[in-house]
Amino acid sequence: MVLQKRLDYGFNGYQVPPTPRATRSARRRVPFRKNVDDNQMCAFDLLATVAGKLLLEGENSPSSGNALTGKELCTIVKDSFKKEQKDEDNPSKAEPCDQGTCDGSFSFSELASHAPALRHSLKEFSHAHIDDCWGLASVITTSDCSEKVGSADKSKSKIQLGSFASKLEVGYQESCDFTVGNENKKQIKIESPKTGNALNVTKADICSSDDLAVRDRKPPALVSVNNRVKLPSCIDQIPSSSFPACRDDVKLVIRDDDENSSGCSQPSTTTKTFGSPLCIGNRRIRKFFSSKYWKVTPKLKDEEHFNADSEIKPVYHNRKICYKRRRSQRDYPFKKRRLYDRSSVSNFEGISREGISSSPRKGFSCDASGSSATPCGASGISACVAGQHTSFQSRDSHVKLRIKSFKVPELVIEIPESATVGSLKRTVMDAVTAILGGGLRVGVLLQGKKIRDDNKTLLQTGISHNNKLDALGFSLEPNPLQAPQSLCHEDRPFLLACDTPRPLTRYPLAPSVVHNVVQQRSADTLPDPPLSSLGNFIESDHDSAPSPPDMSIDKSPTHSRALVAVPAMNVEALAVVPMRKSKRSDAVQRRIRRPFSVYEVEALVQAVEKLGTGRWREVKLRAFDNAKHRTYVDLKDKWKTLVHTARISPQQRRGEPVPQELLDRVLTAHAYWSQQEAKQQLKQQHSETCRL
């Protein structure tokens, strides 16, 4: 509690730059970011966890051998605080401190330096919360890729769409069996309580068998997950998707081809808990979206590695790597493939124009493992509309429908066998999130037939109260137009493919899901995000999705989490990629627009208040270190627009409204720093004059 309180401190006064301008190089040498990247997280996590506010989802690694006691932690924190206070003293005195909280507050960068020591403890602390934050866990029934009997009807997950509201209700699912390799059928039952508390799996048996030994060069194990995913409503818990790279992978194929399954969910009662977590080696999680549905190129690029293997390495080192990779990976195999299927895409002009081409094809088989359970024509996600509750009508010729659930399309996930269950969760979550938040469109089926003409009226189509609505079905399909939005970061193009286009009802499936997640998360855990910490909550990204705050946990040396989704098969036939205006084929596509959330703005403002307007790199490091998609240039630009926004009338503002309070702070800070700069210049002039 005490800690939490500390966290809530507000503006701490402007901080005069160490030595304006002239010290850039000097500043660089100072490993300001020394421990910030990774450790800072830990520190924060710790604090938040202790405060009971932050829910961590992470690897359940038991490696917490040398956990610190609560006492020790406190000591560390206290020390940090003292130190910070001392450091801050000078600057604060001379500077304005309008926010009134100039008392003591510690900075995370300080505390962060203790992170290494805290890490283990964090684990201890976080364990209790691990599951809590994984509310979205979609438990899946897994089975070998092939048509292993009985596997099909185990899938029960569904996605519930609340009566066509634009909210996605994520409900959930029950059991999950993982079949590892072609051999022993290891089963992992994962149960997700209705409460939203998710997977109980602490240890997956995935790497236990010999053939799946955690050896570095082992070929990826293939795990097929046959399922339906019913997503819980706590979307705010959706973790982001940042997974560093590694080697051994386990592939999970989550399919929706359980045609046998009724689609009804039945709570599983079995829960297997495993004694210890998965062993960890390098891990690389590759997510495969079934070729016929989505394809996601590796998102692990520059920043992906940033915190991955950089536990100790200096920042700059990483940065370099990052940049290099960014360039070198442009030729990622899946990135730029695009195929056309004129005939079938004909009614998708829009898509093509949008820069996405798709080559819907109906009869390809489905997954890499050879099992092609899903009829290709089937939509990626099908919905169960049947049942008594399914449809009924009202007097005024309105058709009322109740969609009970949607099936999630097949997902193929490749994950190192050494990965933790936590990362597995995240991976699956990511995949699901990618689908849900990445852009879906709804397909309508009537008596098994897809209705493609969006212009027909329901009546014309036969979806009227006079007809058997039982025969009406909906499907969630990848929406080429939206998909790239969420999961597809600049570095993780979200390739998707769909079979025959059957656009119909466009359902506003919150492309903002991910975004919201971030926000809510921030809100819940970070009332007043201290500098440097907010950043950790941002991003993710989606990647998206947004890599949740738990990143730190996953930072154990060896694991990087690379999240790569690639089509399980038939890549060529299905790849859908953004098409550039036929200029240079290798032209880099413009990054997707990602409006700053209020929380990000908050973080930015706070950081700028403290650091000033000329130190964007530090601002970035401090407040957006983990927001991979926010570059310092972005921050600078954002500040620019913020200042502008703050100056114009509220009526002229667009986008998500920024609290006036923040805008005021923007102006204040801007004014202050402008003044500082002016002073600085005056001084210089003066000194020069004196010299002459």
Partner DNA sequence: CTTAGGG
Partner DNA sequence: CCCTAAG
Nearest Cα to Cα of residue 74 among 110, 40, 34, 121:
121
Distance CA 687, CA 170 (A): 65
> Can you say how many angstroms the Cα of residue 255 is from the centroid of all Cα atoms in its chain?
21
What single string gives the DSSP state of each residue in 275-296? SS-----SEEEEEEE-TTTEEE
By C-alpha distance, which of 174, 179, 182 is closest to 151?
179
CA distances from 432 to 140, 409, 440 (A): 11, 9, 11
Q: Which stretch binds DNA (CB under 7 A): 133-141, 314-322, 381-389, 396-404?
A: 314-322
Cβ-based nearer residue to DNA, 398 or 640: 640
Minimal CA–CA distance to 427: which of 274, 270, 560? 560
Considering only residues 593 to 632 of the shown chain, the ones binding DNA according to CB under 7 A are 593-594, 613-618, 629, 632
| CA nearest neighbour of 288 among 506, 569, 99 | 569
Does residue 636 interact with DNA by CB under 7 A?
A: yes
Q: Which residues pair with 169 in a beta bridge?
A: 160
Q: How far is the CB of 618 from DNA (least distance, A)?
A: 6
Looking at the Cβ atoms of 581 and 593, the one nearer to DNA is: 593
Q: Which is nearer to DNA, 33 or 283 (CB)?
A: 33
Give the residue among 89, 246, 64, 227 at the shortest CA–CA distance from 158. 227
Cα separation, 170 vs 517, whole angstroms: 13
- Residue in 30, 94, 588, 682 binding DNA, rule: CB under 7 A: 588
Minimum CB separation of residue 208 from DNA in Å reads 42
From the CB of 324, what's the least distance to DNA, in Å? 7
83 binds DNA per the rule CB under 7 A: no
Q: Does 186 bind DNA (CB under 7 A)?
A: no
In our burial notation (b when 16+ CB lie closer than 10 A, e otherwise), range 74-94 reads eebbeebbeebbeebeebbee
Indicate the residue among 205 and 637 with the shorter CB distance to DNA: 637
**b/e code 167-188 from CB counts within 10 Å (16+ = b):** bbbbbbbbbbbbbbbeeeebbb
Indicate whether 592 belongs to the interface with DNA (CB under 7 A): yes
* Closest CB to DNA among residues 459, 678: 678
Among 44, 32, 83, CA closest to 314: 32
Residue type, 334: F
Stretch that binds DNA, among 261-269, 318-326, 357-365, 411-419 (CB under 7 A): 318-326
Minimum distance from CB of 533 to DNA (Å)? 20
Please report how close the Cβ of residue 617 comes to DNA at its closest, in angstroms. Answer: 3
| Piece of 6-14, 447-455, 523-531, 635-643 that binds DNA (CB under 7 A) | 635-643
Q: Which CB, 449 or 640, lies closer to DNA?
A: 640
Using the rule CB under 7 A, is 640 a contact of DNA? yes
Q: Residue 230 or residue 670: which is nearer to DNA going by CB?
A: 670
Note whether 682 binds DNA by CB under 7 A. no
Helices (H), 95-186: 108-112, 115-130
Q: Site residues for DNA, window 533-572 (CB under 7 A)?
A: none
Number of chain residues interacting with DNA (CB under 7 A): 26
Closest CA to 438 of 399, 460, 411, 417: 411
381 vs 96: CA distance, rounded Å:
57
Continuous H helices in 8-53: 24-29, 41-50
Q: What is the 3-state composition of the chain as percent helix, strand, coil, each rounded to the nearest 5?
A: 35, 10, 50
Whether residue 574 contacts residue 361, with contact meaning beta carbons closer than 8 Å, is answered with: yes
Does 465 sit near DNA (CB under 7 A)? no
Q: Which is nearer to DNA, 144 or 634 (CB)?
A: 634
Q: Cβ contacts of residue 32 below 8 Å, gap of 6+?
A: 109, 618, 621
Q: Rule CB under 7 A: is residue 580 a binding residue for DNA?
A: no
* 634 part of the interface to DNA, by CB under 7 A: yes
In this chain, which of 52, 323, 648, 682 binds DNA, going by CB under 7 A? Answer: 323
- Residue 488: which residues within 8 A CB-CB, separation 6 or more? 296, 438, 494, 592
Residue 616 Cβ, how far from DNA at the closest point, in Å?
Answer: 4
Tell me the per-residue interface mask from 195 to 234 with DNA, x by CB under 7 A, - otherwise: ----------------------------------------
- Who's near 563: CB < 8 A, 6+ residues apart? 241, 242, 243, 285, 286, 287, 296, 298, 299, 300, 427, 430, 492
Binding mask 12-51 for DNA (x = CB under 7 A): ------------x---------------------------
Q: Which stretch binds DNA (CB under 7 A): 214-222, 440-448, 508-516, 584-592?
A: 584-592
Cβ distance to DNA smaller for residue 264 or 633: 633
134 counts as binding DNA under rule CB under 7 A: no
For residues 476 to 495, the per-residue mask of contacts with DNA, x marking binding by CB under 7 A and - elsewhere, is --------------x-----
Per CB under 7 A, 316 contacts DNA:
yes
Closer by beta carbon to DNA, 334 or else 624: 624
| Separation between Cα atoms, residue 360 and residue 502, nearest integer Å | 10
Alpha carbon 54 to chain centroid, angstroms: 17
Which residue lies nearer to DNA by CB, 186 or 489? Answer: 489
Residue 537 φ/ψ region, left for φ over 0, alpha for ψ in the -120 to 50 degree band, beta for the rest: alpha
Q: Is 330 in the site for DNA (CB under 7 A)?
A: no
Name which position in 82, 362, 449, 591 contacts DNA (CB under 7 A). 591
Selected from 217, 395, 590, 691, the binder of DNA by CB under 7 A is: 590
Only segment of 67-75, 287-295, 549-557, 636-644 that touches DNA (CB under 7 A): 636-644
- Helices and strands (DSSP H and E) totals, the chain: 20, 17
Residues that bind DNA (CB under 7 A): 24, 316, 319-320, 323, 490, 588, 590-594, 613-618, 629, 632-634, 636-637, 640-641
